[in-house]
Amino acid sequence: MGTFSRLRYVMAANFNALLEKAENPEKLLRALIREMEEAGDDARQATAELLAEQQQLERADQRMGEEINEWSERAERAVTAGRDDLARAAIKARTECQARRDTVKADREDLAVRVAQLETDMGTLKSKLNEARARLKAMQARPVPAGAPAGPAPRQISRNERRVRDALGRFDRLQNQVDRLEARVRSYEIGHESAPAWAAADAPADPVVESELEALKARLKPARPANAAKAADAPVDAGA
């Protein structure tokens, strides 16, 4: 899951194994709690930002759907008016808009999966944090044995803390991913504005556009009034 699975090291962490290796378990446990609290804050902020991106993608999807309908109506009006050139341009614009909308839909689905996974990870992190706090409270309630070492812990503690920090520190890359996603959303917002409304007159024929144009013509062809068709097919009276 990439950036949204960076909490799993902590979620899968075996506190007993970590604490057994530490000369000063209480200090290590405090460090673990502090790192988990910071990770939880980062995760909540990331979730809020991604939910905002979701809303922007939903608005872009809705707007593009409206544009697709508008281009379809323009194509029909152009065919009815006998303007195949304008109909081709409208069909091409609709096709390009549909391609952008398909990309937006795919991004929405991917983002929804990532947000759901992040929310699940946050719930698991909360449970681990409660467990760590309970262990620290129990540890502080024990009497300190005589002759217990005092002072700073050996370098092994720093290594354990660094392992946790390295796993949780990958949240720094989350902001970069959010920034990239936000840039893509902005491109959806402005990309359609830079696209030409009508194709150039000397543009090469597009087989897909031509096929859709012929299908549209065939669909609109029966629109001629029935009485007009009968009048056209009626035999001509020679004595008239």
Q: Cα dist. 154→20, 132, 146, 164, 167 in Å?
A: 14, 22, 20, 17, 21
Instruction: Tell the residue number behind the tokens 């999966």, with chain if given.
Output: 113
Per-domain residue ranges of the chain? 2-141+157-221
Question: 2: which DSSP letter?
Answer: G
Residue 99 has pLDDT above 90, yes or no: yes
Residue 151's Cα: distance from chain center in Å?
49
Q: Are 90 and 174 in contact (CB under 8 A)?
A: no
Tens digit of pLDDT for each residue in 174-222?
A: 545 555 555 555 554 434 444 444 444 455 567 788 888 888 888 888 6
How does the average pLDDT of the chain come out, rounded? Answer: 72
Q: Are 57 and 65 in contact (CB under 8 A)?
A: no
Q: Are 13 and 130 in contact (CB under 8 A)?
A: no
What does the longest C-alpha to C-alpha distance in the chain come to?
Answer: 132
Q: What is the pLDDT of residue 77?
A: 92
Distance CA 50, CA 28 (A): 32
Distance CA 124, CA 115 (A): 14
Among 57-61, 121-125, 193-197, 208-212, where is mean pLDDT lowest?
Answer: 193-197
Q: Which helix (H) or strand (E) holds 45?
A: helix 25-80
Q: Are 116 and 47 in contact (CB under 8 A)?
A: no
Confidence of residue 36 (pLDDT cuts 50, 70, 90): confident
Tens digit of pLDDT for each residue in 2-35?
A: 444 545 555 555 666 667 777 788 888 888 888 8
